[in-house]
Amino acid sequence: MQTDRNIEIAPSILSADFSCLREEIEAVERGGAAILHFDVMDGHFVPNITIGLPVLKSLAKVTRLPIDAHLMISEPGRYATQFVDAGAKMVSVHVEADPHLHRTLMAIKSAGAQGGVVLNPSTPLAAVDEALQFADKVLVMSV
């Protein structure tokens, strides 16, 4: 049985040369990317620290691609709609970081973006059962 599949390429901005982000984004646009993946890490929820709102706001002005902000941060509900305001078309939050995941997803959607839920590999799928009705997508980490 053959099924129609829509495969979208979503390169992460973290793999870019930060000294020439605009050129890097133009290259992935020419290469057929459908989404620009924007990993946000705060040094608390995960040990690394990456980029945040000011960079996303700047990049949203220079790309035609929708930006998917993946919030690997503590208390994502406090910041999620700010990423929508900065230009993200999708905002994904970790079930492990947000005790009020349904509320955060509804706020993201009310702000005009798609809301996604993310699971770490060791988190049981059942952890997102109650949030699925509010989510536009689910991402299971593979790293």
pTM over 0.85: yes
Tens-place pLDDT, residues 21-53:
999 999 999 999 999 999 999 999 999 999 999
pLDDT of 86: 98
Q: Among residues 40, 48, 39, 42, which one has the least CA distance to residue 11?
A: 39
Cα 76 from Cα 94, distance rounded (Å) = 8
Tens-place pLDDT, residues 90-110:
999 999 999 999 999 999 999
Percentage with pLDDT > 70 across the chain:
96
Cα 38 from Cα 25, distance rounded (Å) = 12
State the average pLDDT for the chain. 93
Residue 9 has pLDDT above 90, yes or no: no
